[in-house]
Amino acid sequence: MISYRRKMSGCSLLVMAAACAAATCSAPPRAYAQHVVLIVNGDLITDYDIEQRSKFALLATHKAPSRPQVIEELIDEKLKIQVARRYKIELTQSDVDHNYAEMAHRMNRNWTGDQLTQALAQGGVDSETLKAKIMADLAWQTIIRGRFQSSLQLNEKSVLDEIQTRKKDDATPVIGYDYTLQPILFVVPRNDAALTEARTRDAEALRARFTACDPGLSLARSLAGVVVKEAITKNSSELAPAIRDIIDKTEIGHLTAPETTTQGVELFALCAKKENKADTPEKAQAREKLFAEQFESKAKHYLQDLRRQAMIERK
Task: Write 299-307 long-range contacts (CB < 8 A, 24+).
Answer: 299/140, 299/144, 302/144, 302/147, 302/148, 303/76, 303/79, 303/80, 306/79, 306/83, 307/75, 307/76, 307/79
80 domain residue, yes or no: yes
Whether residue 142 sits in one domain with residue 17: yes
Split into its structural domains, the chain has a count of 2
Q: Give the domain CATH number at 89.
A: 1.10.4030.10
pLDDT > 80? residue 169:
no
Whether residue 310 sits in one domain with residue 213: no
| Burial of residue 246, with CB atoms counted within 10 A of its CB: 0-12 exposed, 13-18 middle, 19 or more buried | middle
Whether residue 266 sits in one domain with residue 310: no
pLDDT computed for residue 224 by the predictor: 94
287 domain residue, yes or no: no
284 domain residue, yes or no: no
Q: Give the domain CATH number at 195.
A: 3.10.50.40
Whether residue 66 sits in one domain with residue 22: yes
pLDDT range class, residue 97, cuts 50, 70, 90: very high
308 domain residue, yes or no: yes
pLDDT in tens, 4-42: 333 333 333 323 333 333 333 333 344 444 799 999 999
Domain range holding 43? 10-149+296-314
Q: Round the average pLDDT of the chain to a whole number and report it.
A: 83
Whether residue 194 sits in one domain with residue 234: yes
Across the range 93-103, mean pLDDT stands at: 91
pLDDT computed for residue 281 by the predictor: 67
pLDDT in tens, 259-290: 998 889 999 999 999 987 666 667 667 777 88
pLDDT in tens, 195-227: 999 999 999 999 999 999 999 999 999 999 999
pLDDT computed for residue 241 by the predictor: 78
39 domain residue, yes or no: yes
* CA angle, residues 179, 184, 188, in degrees to nearest 5: 145
Q: What percent of the chain has pLDDT over 70?
A: 82
136 domain residue, yes or no: yes
283 domain residue, yes or no: no
pLDDT in tens, 127-144: 999 999 999 999 999 999
Whether residue 254 sits in one domain with residue 224: yes
Whether residue 211 sits in one domain with residue 82: no
270 domain residue, yes or no: yes
Whether residue 122 sits in one domain with residue 28: yes
pLDDT computed for residue 176 by the predictor: 77
pLDDT computed for residue 280 by the predictor: 63
Whether residue 225 sits in one domain with residue 192: yes
Whether residue 307 sits in one domain with residue 262: no
